[in-house]
Structure 1
Amino acid sequence: MLTIIHGADFHLDSPFAGLTPQRAAQRRGEQRELLSALAELSRERQADLVLLSGDLLDSHQTYRETAQALSQALGQIPCPVFLAPGNHDYYHINSLYAALDWPENVHIFTSGDLEAVELPQLGCVVHGRAFQAPREDASPLSGFSAPQDGKVHLMVLHGQVDGAGDYAPISREDIAASGLHYLALGHVHQCSGVQREGNTFWAYPGCPEGRGFDETGEKGVLCLTLDENGCQWELVPLSRRRYEELAVDLTDRESPLEAVRAVLPPDTDNDVYRITFTGERGEFPLDLTALETVLAPRFYGLTLRDRTRVRREVWARREEDSLTGLFLRSMAARCQADPEDETLQLAVRFGLAALERGEDVAP
């Protein structure tokens, strides 16, 4: 039996361009803490191998503190570590992977061709390769077939299953024909769970911590065991912060604030939320600034969006012989032509609010 920790797509030293410089520096520091958490997990689970499938770094612009933290944390892992550089941290002679003096337990694949490293003490062989440019259109698994020699054959790669083009495309047919016991992949930031093609298990662990609203929910690394009965796995959370989306329907709700409080989980202090208001409501626009002032202390970061629609009965006033009726008649056709246009919905609200403050008498 082999116990394996599989991680990918840490994207250390991401710029966090949407944050203040202080917050961005804090987030980069928290990213480095993920490395210590990875080392601690490998000790807790008594891992036989740690496989890192690329994009450990977000770019080749790396802080010295990150390089030190990376080398130190990987050196604290009490088992072999295999790393396959990806499209963001591709291998070249001036890269961190070439420049840093790595601990003895760390093997970095540096060739664009597949290499194999045998571990007799574990009865396994680890195959892998490196990206050597930001984009590569050749399939790294095409034509590969592991020998049937009684050993466990693993592979660590950065690439795109079912993809075409620039990020080392990998077909399911090639996975099935590979003869591998497990294919450890990186590039996709959502955990795929362990899947199977033919007799080969494969997975994307996803990124260990989200950096935006395209990376929501629980994040971590995969911990799996391989034996003659198959593959058992779990996603082990590593992230300190989560990005979450929350939709709040304001239909028939008097208070937007109470509507949020009714559906909000209790522990959100460390998380970044985007709350989208939906449903139908009256003619006046939401005061998002006031809502954010009240809600913001409950989050590490908060974004509010108004995607509500004007309540249907408001449109009945377009038959009135008044400025309000004239305005609603002029807007009705445009809104019916594009009912999802948020700008039009806001225009109706602000127009009605302006008329409410001004004159609204029959000419």
Structure 2
Amino acid sequence: MLNIIHGADFHLDSPFSGLSPERAAQRRGEQRDLLTRLAQLAREKQADLVLLSGDLMDGETVYRETAQALSQALGGIPCPVFLAPGNHDCYSPSSVYATLDWPDNVHIFTTPAVEGVDLPQFNCTVYGRAFCSPHETGSPLAGFQAAEDGRLTLACLHGDTAPGSGYGPISQEEIAASGLDYLALGHVHQHSGLQRAGRTAWAYPGCPEGRGFDELGEKGVLLLHAQPGQVTGEFVPLCRRRYQDIRVDVTGSDPLDAVLNALPPATEEDIYRITLTGACTAPDLARLQRALAPRFYGLTVRDETRLPQDLWQRREEDSLTGLFLREMEQLCAKRPDDPVCRLAARFGLAALENGEDICP
């Protein structure tokens, strides 16, 4: 039984454009620290193999210290490491995979054709191939079938199981026909869980560090236990920070109190997007941002609340507020799907009631 770590989609040197320049630089440094955590995990779990299924880099432009940190970290893993370049870090004669000296324990797949590497000490064969351009419409597994020789058969590939993808589309039928014991995939940033097609187990580990609100929650790698005909696995969190997205109903409450009551105990290390919902006159987002920001590494507050129904009852008042609400009610009735009308009613009412403008 082999212990195998499967990781992918590190996207080192990502821009982190949603953060301040200082925080973005810090996050890129934390990405490099991820490499050290990967090496530590390999030692702690006594990994026999590490499979890295592409997009370790975010693009062709890589800081030299990042590439050196990757090489050093992989060289510190006391077992063979297999790396299959993906669409973001595709292999070429000018890529970092060709121009940097890599440790002896690291095997980088460099051709678009699948090749196999025999590991007799493990009674195992590891297959793999490389993206050699940013887009590939052909399947990496087209016509492939692993040798049937009683060995454990693994493949390390970057590809997409979504039909019609331009990033190495792979069908369930091709996975089932491959004869592999395990297919280690990269490209999808959400952990897939261990899947099966025929006798072949396959999975995406997801990215090990979230970079935006489309990559929420815990991120990490897979720890697999494999022998011919049998593969089991578990997800191992590895991320330094998490992106979290919560919605808070502020109906009948002070928005700040409602948000504080909805938060978990520890949020300081993470990046949150908080969306206000329910019925509310005009939440002061600037006030909320100032009050809540110290509780998070990063914070975005959004307003999706609606005007309370009872406010429209004031349209009968003989006042400027009543006149304003009568006009706005007619406008909103004519344009029911226009959010600008509702915003105009909300902020106009807030200005009349409070004597000042409230910015969204």
Shorter-chain TM-score tier:
over 0.9
2:31 is paired with a residue whose SS is helix
Q: CA deviation at 1:357?
A: 5.9
Supply the distance in 2 between the matched residues of 1:342 and 1:45 (Cα, whole angstroms). Answer: 53
Task: Tell whether the 8 Å contact from 1:112 to 1:130 is kept in structure 2 after alignment.
Answer: yes
Supply the distance in 2 between the matched residues of 1:342 and 1:104 (Cα, whole angstroms). Answer: 60
Q: CA deviation at 1:231?
A: 2.3
The equivalent residue for 1:289 is: 286
Indicate yes or no: 2:345 matched with 1:348.
yes
Alignment map for 1:67-86 (pairs within 5 Å): 67-86=67-86
Supply the distance in 2 between the matched residues of 1:9 and 1:161 (Cα, whole angstroms). Answer: 16
The equivalent residue for 1:308 is: 305
Q: Mind listing any 5+ residue stretches in structure 1 that lack a counterpart?
A: 359-363
Supply the distance in 2 between the matched residues of 1:189 and 1:126 (Cα, whole angstroms). Answer: 23
Q: CA deviation at 1:257?
A: 1.1
Alignment map for 1:117-132 (pairs within 5 Å): 117-132=117-132
2:122 is paired with a residue whose SS is coil
Q: CA deviation at 1:347?
A: 1.4
Q: CA deviation at 1:94?
A: 0.4
Supply the distance in 1 between the matched residues of 2:54 and 2:339 (Cα, whole angstroms). Answer: 39
RMSD: 1.6
Q: CA deviation at 1:320?
A: 5.6
Q: CA deviation at 1:252?
A: 2.0
Supply the distance in 2 between the matched residues of 1:236 and 1:324 (Cα, whole angstroms). Answer: 57
The equivalent residue for 1:16 is: 16
The equivalent residue for 1:361 is: none
**1:141-193 deviation line (CA, Å, top 9, x unaligned):** 12111121101110011110033131000001111111000000000000001
1:121 is paired with a residue whose SS is helix
Supply the distance in 2 between the matched residues of 1:357 and 1:277 (Cα, whole angstroms). Answer: 21
Supply the distance in 2 between the matched residues of 1:45 and 1:342 (Cα, whole angstroms). Answer: 53
Q: What is the identity, as a one-letter code, of the residue corresponding to 1:51?
A: L
The equivalent residue for 2:61 is: 61
Supply the distance in 1 between the matched residues of 2:165 and 2:301 (Cα, whole angstroms). Answer: 37
Q: Tell me the TM-score normalised to structure 1 length.
A: 0.93
Percentage identity across aligned positions?
63
Q: Mind listing any 5+ residue stretches in structure 2 that lack a counterpart?
A: 356-360
Q: What is the identity, as a one-letter code, of the residue corresponding to 2:147?
A: P
1:5 is paired with a residue whose SS is strand
Q: CA deviation at 1:25?
A: 1.5
Supply the distance in 1 between the matched residues of 2:118 and 2:275 (Cα, whole angstroms). Answer: 52
**1:11-45 deviation line (CA, Å, top 9, x unaligned):** 00111223232222111110000000000000111
Number of matched pairs: 352
Indicate yes or no: 2:36 matched with 1:39.
no
Q: CA deviation at 1:228?
A: 5.5
Alignment map for 1:1-363 (pairs within 5 Å): 1-227=1-227, 230-253=230-253, 255-281=254-280, 283=281, 285-318=282-315, 322-334=322-334, 337-338=336-337, 341-356=338-353
1:229/1:135 CA distance change after superposition, 3 Å: closer
- Runs (4+) of structure 1 exceeding 6 A deviation are none
Q: What is the identity, as a one-letter code, of the residue corresponding to 1:205?
A: P
Q: Tell me the TM-score normalised to structure 2 length.
A: 0.94
2:19 is paired with a residue whose SS is coil
Q: What is the identity, as a one-letter code, of the residue corresponding to 2:295?
A: R
Q: CA deviation at 1:353?
A: 2.4
Q: CA deviation at 1:342?
A: 4.1
Query: Larger deviation: 19-28 or 255-264?
Result: 19-28
Q: CA deviation at 1:229?
A: 6.9
Supply the distance in 2 between the matched residues of 1:277 and 1:342 (Cα, whole angstroms). Answer: 15
